[in-house]
A and B are shown apart, each in its own frame.
Chain A
């Protein structure tokens, strides 16, 4: 029982500016259930990498345990990666990031991996504002162990077993804003038009970018009684605003009428243009951002889009003033600067 993906691709498949086709960002064929939201989230990552001309060998993929944590095998087959212990993705990512700040870090986790066993790790990565793209594929259940409710399952929601969840749920986005993440967004695996720009914005952002990707579990949690089914999410989705992501090298072609949009310049010079509709929400203020989430929740709506962005918060390297160079490029002379340097330090302490 196995199937493979043909090697042929569309002959008119475009190349990006880095010279890669979409195929160069693919990984192995997915072994997740047919229809799993995670596969769509994976395709969103591939699309974002392709569009941003990411060089596959400059990416490190980190993950924990779970259906979601399997996905790094299904994208960027020619990148670096580490599949860690359950819930320990943030600490592995922290270590890697400390050793080499030049790579693009994609941490993939799930609602179990993040909101249960890995909650402590999650909290501290947020607090340090680690320069990491933390993508949580959130389906509200433990798919790998037959669909038990997870900590993000909404109260009253029932999956395939039919028993409503009696506990309150954890809102990972609120938590992320609360604990110090500098870029917080929510997407839906069934809407790549929104998801791909969110991922691209995260990649351009310096600091912890957290994206809660609602990603239905088609096998255990896609029932009419679940709040994380394709149908329910589509019916209850609300967006902060739509936005364009404009990479640094790209000319701004769209005409933005004054007062109708807000531009946020990212650290790498890219710009996010937030389109203000009547119902649009301010996403640069932490208080308002949390308020937005709570307001929509009270109305029974699920708020998606870019929820909060703050370019002022320093990322871990800047906080601890660490070396700009990857550790493996430091020579003996850099690490042992000699007796004179030591004397200087000793003198400063006298």
Chain B
């Protein structure tokens, strides 16, 4: 293998698994460190700059960072990164000095944002400090989009949502609420310098061809519409027996909501095995915790309506078969259909994109989505940009935020007649952490603590009232201990082959047996030849230039604890612990 190019910012960035996995690349280890030091304001600020909605995301984020967390490869569970984000938000002071200064004198450019969800709000936040004038259109009476209408208050209190949304609106967004955009042509004719569409994936999937669907219509709801109707109090109670169909997070929200509205026998039915469900594991756990059974491998057959009233549904039991490529097919078993009685059915079987306002010539792909440049988010109409679920189909909030950042950069470049592909680089630094003998700028001690559970409100209380937030959040003390579980993956082990005397001290001390001095070979061979084979191919091998004996240093990054013992035991400082910071570029950055 060639020596690893550590000058490439992507190399060390990838070592910081959580930050790399985050669509917005929030510097996770840095803010966890600040939380462990009680510096909640600074931790919040880092989050706010990167992901715009720390209080919201600290509750409802899809957390791509957590499955990526190195800790889950070292022991059983990742650091509770998401809930620590909430800690930063819960305990920050009232100080708002982190807010950017909005220039009184505008730059003369006007931007329209359609849809007031997280993607549009991110664009607004990124462009306002640069002097742009921003008009925001939404058919609802308040901003928030999906987060407001479809995330139940027992997971995200309205107060938190309002605080974070208003923080952006108060920067000086011109809002046009209760204003449904029916014609994109009209918007484009208004002579905005750029138009951004962040209208989400607003349509819930139905099962129109299932027998009895029309007859049962009065008792059948579409998941996301159901949640919105609850929010606006069109629906205030549930009948006794409710079936929720679907295995995603919306299904989990719907069943928990039905339980709160009086459903005493709420069941979730999924076609697949539970292990294949799309919902996040913790959402599934939360639903089961509230006494909602999840019945797997049941495919709906028909709605049973008697005397005009829905009385139940038939389901066919299926078994999941996987072919050699892991592709799943659900094969019906020999058993006769199962009848499950119910008074109401909520269909949460997926979301679809819809662009009802589309009345201009816009290039669309075969999935009915606009053709976009994946990097710039620019559509076939040069001054029209897309972000969030409206861009590439339903994803999640943090992805929408990341889209917002990219679109803002594009819009800014576009408005200056610059090349959209000539984008600002991320800002990176690499700084030594050595203070002296056994003295580092970071806390290198590795905590043995296992993941702390977030305390919750008494179930009796929370199941009665849909407005009571279930999770209480970590205390400062528990937050500190949980943050200390972080392995400081941003503090990199940097090796210098020239000064190494090959004493083997690093090899001998490394608790994870990561470090090897062996003869160079191809990557596949090196992965096999090192002390403990590097079977996790997602993780890089760090290969040095040849040392004096002609061998190379090979480090498997996979389970490195970043404990610094290699550097501690190195007599020649050939190993150094250096903190790598990576901050994604933002609009206006030179």
Q: Which residues of B lie under 8 Å from residue A30 when comparing CB positions?
A: 509, 569
- The 8 Å CB contact of A8, one of B505, B508, B512, B535, is B512
**Contact between chains at A43 and B507 (CB < 8 Å):** yes
**Nearest 7 Cβ contacts at the A-B interface:** A35-B571, A6-B446, A43-B508, A40-B504, A35-B503, A218-B571, A34-B569
Smallest CB gap from A229: residue in B: B501
Whether A34 contacts B559 by the Cβ 8 Å rule is: no
- Residues on A with C-beta less than 8 A from B570 are 34-35
Chain B contact residues, CB within 8 Å of chain A: 73-75, 437-439, 444-446, 448, 501-505, 507-509, 511-514, 532-533, 535, 548-549, 559, 561, 563, 565, 568-572
Residue of B nearest to A42 (CB): B508
**A40 nearest CB neighbor, chain B only:** B504
Q: What 0/1 readout, one digit per residue, does chain A (18-55) give for beta carbons within 8 Å of chain B?
A: 00001000000110011111011011000000000000
**Within 8 Å CB of A10, what residues of B?**
512-514, 532, 559
Q: Which residues of A contact B514 (CB under 8 A)?
A: 10
Q: How far is the CA of A14 from the CA of B533 in the complex (A)?
A: 11
Q: How far is the CA of A4 from the CA of B353 in the complex (A)?
A: 55
1/0 contact string of A53-81 vs chain B (CB within 8 Å): 00000000000000000000000000000
| Distance between Cα atoms of A8 and B438 in the complex (Å) | 20
Q: How far is the CB of B196 from chain A (nearest CB, A)?
A: 46
Nearest B residue to A4, CB-CB: B445
A7 to B507, CA, bound (A): 16
- With beta carbons under 8 angstroms apart, the residue of A9, A35, A222, A234 that contacts B549 is A234
Question: A329 interface residue, CB < 8 Å from B?
Answer: no
Chain B residues with CB under 8 A of A231: 501, 548
Q: Is the pair B502, A190 in contact by a Cβ cutoff of 8 Å?
A: yes
A231 to B514, CA, bound (A): 25
Query: B residues within 8 A CB of A29?
Result: 509
Given A1-B438, A39-B569, A11 contacting B503 (CB threshold 8 A): no
A interface, CB within 8 angstroms of B: 1-14, 22, 29-30, 33-37, 39-40, 42-43, 189-190, 192, 216, 218-219, 222, 230-231, 234
A230 to chain B: which residues have CB within 8 Å?
A: 501-503
Residues of chain A lying within 8 A (CB to CB) of residue B507: 43
A108 to chain B, nearest CB (A): 16
Chain A's closest residue to B75 (CB) is A8
Q: Is the interface of B mostly helix, strand, loop or mixed?
A: loop
* Separation of A249 and B571 alpha carbons in the complex (Å): 40
Q: Chain A residues near B569 (CB, 8 Å)? A: 30, 34-35, 39
Would you call A216 and B503 a contact (CB within 8 A)? yes
- In the complex, 13 of the A-B residue pairs with CB atoms within 8 angstroms, ordered by the A residue number, are A1-B438, A3-B565, A6-B446, A8-B74, A8-B446, A8-B559, A12-B532, A22-B513, A29-B509, A35-B501, A36-B505, A43-B504, A219-B571
Contacts of A12 in B (CB 8 A): 532-533, 535
Contacts of A234 in B (CB 8 A): 502, 548-549
Q: Which residue of A lies closest to B572 (CB)?
A: A35
Residues in B neighbouring A192, C-beta threshold 8 A:
504
Most-contacted residue by chain B among A4, A10, A190, A216 (CB, 10 A): A10
Query: Are the C-beta atoms of B563 and A11 separated by less than 8 Å?
Result: no
Given contacts A43-B507, A230-B503, contact A6 B438 (CB under 8 A): no
Q: Which residues of B contact A8 (CB under 8 A)?
A: 74-75, 446, 511-512, 559, 561
In the complex, which residues of chain B have a beta carbon less than 8 angstroms from the beta carbon of A3? 438, 444, 565, 568
With contacts A13-B513, A34-B571 known, is A5 near B565, CB below 8 A? yes
Complex Cα spacing A14 to B532, Å: 8
Give the distance in Å from the alpha carbon of A294 to the alpha carbon of B55 in the complex. Answer: 77
User: Inside 8 A of B535's CB, which chain A residues have their CB?
Assistant: 12
Residues of B close to A33: CB separation below 8 A: 571
Shortest CB-to-CB span from B564 to chain A, Å, is: 8
Q: Is the CB of A11 within 8 A of B568?
A: no
- Known pairs A3-B568, A34-B571; A190 contacts B503 (CB<8 A): yes
Would you call A6 and B509 a contact (CB within 8 A)? no
Known: A5-B565, A11-B73, A11-B74. A37 touches B503 (CB 8 A): yes
Identify which of B438, B504, B512, B532 gathers the most chain A CB atoms within 10 Å of its CB.
B504
Give A35's nearest chain B residue, CB to CB: B571
- Cα–Cα, bound, A190→B548 (Å): 12
A190 and B511 alpha carbons, distance in the complex (Å): 19
Q: A71 to chain B: closest CB distance in Å?
A: 12
Could you say which of A6, A39, A218 contacts B508, with CB atoms under 8 Å apart? A39
**How many whole Å from B403's CB to the nearest CB in chain A?**
36
Q: Closest B-chain residue to A216, C-beta based? A: B503
- In the assembled complex, the Cα of A287 lies from the Cα of B571 at a distance in Å of 41
CA distance A13 to B533 in the complex (A): 10
Cross-chain contact A35 with B511 (CB below 8 angstroms): no
Known: A34-B569, A34-B570, A35-B570. A40 touches B501 (CB 8 A): no
Contact of A218 among B503, B511, B512, B565 (CB under 8 A): B503
Instruction: Tell whether, in the assembled complex, residue B511 and residue A9 are in contact, meaning their CB atoms are under 8 Å apart.
Output: yes
Nearest residue, chain A, Cβ from B439: A1
Nearest CB on B from A137, distance (A): 13
Nearest-CB residue, chain A, relative to B549? A234
Complex Cα–Cα for A4 and B446 (A): 9
Residues of A close to B73: CB separation below 8 A? 11
B82 to chain A, nearest CB (A): 23
Q: Given A36-B505, A42-B508, 7 other A-B contacts at CB below 8 A? A: A3-B438, A7-B446, A8-B559, A36-B503, A39-B504, A43-B508, A190-B503
Find out whether the CB atom of B563 lies under 8 angstroms from the CB atom of A6: yes
Q: A6 to B501, Cβ gap below 8 A?
A: no
| B503 and A40 form a contact (CB under 8 A) | yes
- CB-CB under 8 A from A190, the residues of chain B are 502-504
Residues of the B chain whose Cβ atoms lie less than 8 Å from the Cβ of A6: 446, 511, 561, 563
B438 to chain A, nearest CB (A): 5
Q: Quick check: B512 and A9 within 8 Å, CB to CB?
A: yes
From residue B75, how far is it (CB to closest CB) to chain A in Å? 7
From B74, B511, B549, B570, residue with most partner A Cβ within 10 Å = B511
* Given contact pairs A6-B511, A39-B505, A231-B548, A11 touches B571 in the complex (Cβ within 8 A): no
Select A13's contact among B439, B504, B532, beta carbons within 8 Å.
Answer: B532
Q: How far is the CA of A6 from the CA of B446 in the complex (A)?
A: 6
Q: How many angstroms between the C-alpha atoms of A234 and B551 in the bound complex? A: 13
Q: B505 contacts A222, CB within 8 Å?
A: no
CB distance from A67 to the nearest CB of B (A): 14
A25 to chain B, nearest CB (A): 12
* Whole-angstrom CA separation of A1 from B444 in the bound complex: 13
B532 contacts which chain A residues (CB < 8 A)? 10, 12-14
Minimum CB–CB distance for A45 against chain B, Å: 11
State the CA gap A134–B511 with chains docked (Å). 28
A127 to B: closest C-beta gap in Å: 35
Which of B438, B444, B505, B535 is most buried by chain A, counting CB atoms within 10 A of its CB? Answer: B505
